[in-house]
């Protein structure tokens, strides 16, 4: 459908949630896929689960650790050959007010959401530039467009993802490499969402499904909603789109 057959793709944080759905969609399109995830056992299990649909390889490591990226992403590149599509999806969300949150939570948020994207992109993109082609899709957030109480670190890190998307698009567009982002809204059925829902439930706050009744499309998003937008941006259907962050939120912004 998207003309991606035979393309080689890497997805970070591909063991769970949105990353897993992106990997599944890419496989269904006929791509060879590499997933890189912190949790090696989960990455193996996902590779086994999705393996019937196509060629999937995995490596484990922490995107915030430059040496681990060098080794793990390097191993995926060696196994797959030249990479056509990079999806920077790995991310964390630590809830806490800016004046209260620990230094460790602030640093982990930026280490993974920002430095991680920086390390992985600097490992994969030069080869795309050299080969004069490729597509990078970063997973930002609807919180990368506006600040929110108790999400200051996360919002700031996702604003950074949007800025890095625009800047890199300016830098490497002339070499035929496009760089875009998807800004998911309230997405359920992911590990991150399950964890934050458990916390909200304990605090007596409304669930994601309840909150979604207030958005125009009256439902939460699912990982596959994000995966379809990623595939569009990765494909030649988006050949004249670069530097954009597309919101996939069910109209959360029109609320
Ligand atoms: P998820 O289910 O927790 O998936 C995140 C994946 O990233 C997990 O497999 C996780 O592995 C991996 N990961 C975390 N830290 C990593 C690290 N340092 N190095 C390598 N891999 C790492 O969460 P998700 O909801 O699918 O989130 C995916 C992306 O969407 C994130 O960038 C997130 O910010 C963004 N997003 C999500 C929502 C939402 O509502 N769910 C909304 C907006 C944006 P482990 O499980 O081992 O930690």
Copy the structure tokens of residue 216: 């125009």
- The preferred substitution site among 192, 198, 252 for testing ligand 1, maximizing ligand atoms within 8 Å of CB, is 192
Q: What is the mean pLDDT of residues 195-223?
A: 93
pLDDT at 163: 98
Copy the structure tokens of residue 54: 């196509």
CB atoms within 10 A of CB 196: 15
- Looking at the CA of residue 190, tell me the nearest atom of ligand 1: 2
pLDDT, tens digit, 9 for 90 and up, residues 9-29: 999 999 999 999 999 999 999
pLDDT, tens digit, 9 for 90 and up, residues 81-130: 999 999 999 999 999 999 999 999 999 999 999 999 999 999 999 999 99
pLDDT at 1: 86
pLDDT, tens digit, 9 for 90 and up, residues 162-198: 999 999 999 999 999 999 999 999 999 999 999 989 9
Q: In percent, how much of the chain has pLDDT > 90?
A: 95
- Residues 6 or more apart whose CB falls under 8 angstroms from that of 126 comprise none
Contact 113, 160 (CB under 8 A): yes
* Pick from 239, 243, 119: nearest CA to 171: 243
pLDDT at 199: 84
- Annotated catalytic residue 151: yes
- Of the residues 2, 16, 151, 154, only one is catalytic, namely 151
Contact 112, 63 (CB under 8 A): yes
pLDDT at 196: 87
Q: What is the mean pLDDT of residues 146-167?
A: 97
CB atoms within 10 A of CB 119: 23
- Residues 6 or more apart whose CB falls under 8 angstroms from that of 223 comprise 17, 18, 20, 21, 22, 187, 189, 190
* Pick from 174, 187, 163: nearest CA to 129: 174
d(CA 6, CA 115): 30
Contact 127, 175 (CB under 8 A): no
Strands 177-184 and 245-248: parallel
Residue 18 CB less than 6 A away from ligand 1: yes
- The residue with greater pLDDT, 178 or 203, is 178
Residue 19 CB less than 6 A away from ligand 1: yes
> Does 255 score more than 50 pLDDT?
no
Copy the structure tokens of residue 73: 């992403």
């Amino acid at each position: 459908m998207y003309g991606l057959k035979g393309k080689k793709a890497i997805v970070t944080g591909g063991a769970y949630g949105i990353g897993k759905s992106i990997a599944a969609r890419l496989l269904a399109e006929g791509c060879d896929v590499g997933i890189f995830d912190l949790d090696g056992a989960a990455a193996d299990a996902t590779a086994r689960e999705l393996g019937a649909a196509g060629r999937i390889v995995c490596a484990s490591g922490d995107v915030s650790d430059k040496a681990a990226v060098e080794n793990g992403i390097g191993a995926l590149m060696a196994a797959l050959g030249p990479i056509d599509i990079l999806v920077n999806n790995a991310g964390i969300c630590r809830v806490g007010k800016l004046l209260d949150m620990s230094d460790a939570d602030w640093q982990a948020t930026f280490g993974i959401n920002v430095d991680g994207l920086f390390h992985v992109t600097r490992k994969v993109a030069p080869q795309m530039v050299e080969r004069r082609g490729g597509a990078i899709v970063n997973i930002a957030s609807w919180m990368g467009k506006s600040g929110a109480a108790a999400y200051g670190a996360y919002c700031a890190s996702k604003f950074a993802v949007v800025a890095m998307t625009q800047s890199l698009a300016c830098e490497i567009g002339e070499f035929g490499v496009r760089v875009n982002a998807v800004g998911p809204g309230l997405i359920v059925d992911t590990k991150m969402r399950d964890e934050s829902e458990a916390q909200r439930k304990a605090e007596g706050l409304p669930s994601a499904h309840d909150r979604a009744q207030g958005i125009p499309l009256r439902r939460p998003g699912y990982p596959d909603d994000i995966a379809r937008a990623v595939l569009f941006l990765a494909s030649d259907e988006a050949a004249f789109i670069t530097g954009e962050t597309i919101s996939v939120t069910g109209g959360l912004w029109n609320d």
